[in-house]
Amino acid sequence: MESVDLDIRDWVATITLNRPAKHNAMTPEMSAQLVSHVLACNDSAEVRVVVLTGAGERAFCVGSDVKDLDRYPEPWSFRNRTDYVDALRLLRKPLIAAVNGMAFGGGLEMTLAADIRLASTTSSFAAPEIKLGWVGGGGVAHALSHSIGASNAAIMIMTGDAVTAQQASQWGLVSELFAPDHLLPGALVLARTIASRAPIAAETAKLNLRAAFNMTRDMAFAYERELQTICFATHDAAEGRAAFKEKRAAKFEGR
């Protein structure tokens, strides 16, 4: 049964795209489930970090199920659909993509929506829409060019051909490569490390990093100072200072 699964433990939510027989291709129903999970994670004090991965060994996600695209009666309804990439951008918590196979089309865009991208050595990445007569609509041009540079992004978007995990790592599309059976455990170790930090500061760091792409240098400097001041006023910041002085581990509560 096609689904998007949610598991929460140790402050970490794992969202799994669970349609392995179809390479985790997304349907409108799965998009709605993903939106629901994202909103639940935003509202839950038990979630500090989210890991996104795909079920099975072959694919992370190959984007929208092309057969489902004919369900939209006209381009305007397609344009106004519930979009799974937009859903991920609603997430306030840090997001780690654990790319366990093919990340094609919308799957590549989902990867790019993550704050941190990890991948298996057998993964691959592509923006293949041009081979079907269109281009991606989930922000791929902006996100990919900022990630790997305009020329490399042009190669991927204009040819539609896949690049290997090793090439993706060389270009900076992913931060680290793992053997397939070590990918999710590695992602969870990193997630738990981030989850052990002050959660308000972690969410603020995400805001700061995203804003830095859209601001001038001086505006980014000023915005960062204001975010620092907000964090400095929290209970967790006081706890961090106290723990440092008392030479003990801080106990952050997200307030």
Active site residues: 109, 129
Residue 50's nearest CA partner among 22, 89, 83 is 89
Number of Cβ within 10 Å of residue 14's Cβ equals 20
CB 77 within 8 A of CB 98: no
Contact 144, 105 (CB under 8 A): no
CB neighbours of residue 221 within 10 Å: 11
Q: Which amino acid is at 218?
A: D
Report the C-alpha gap between 138 and 142 in whole angstroms: 9
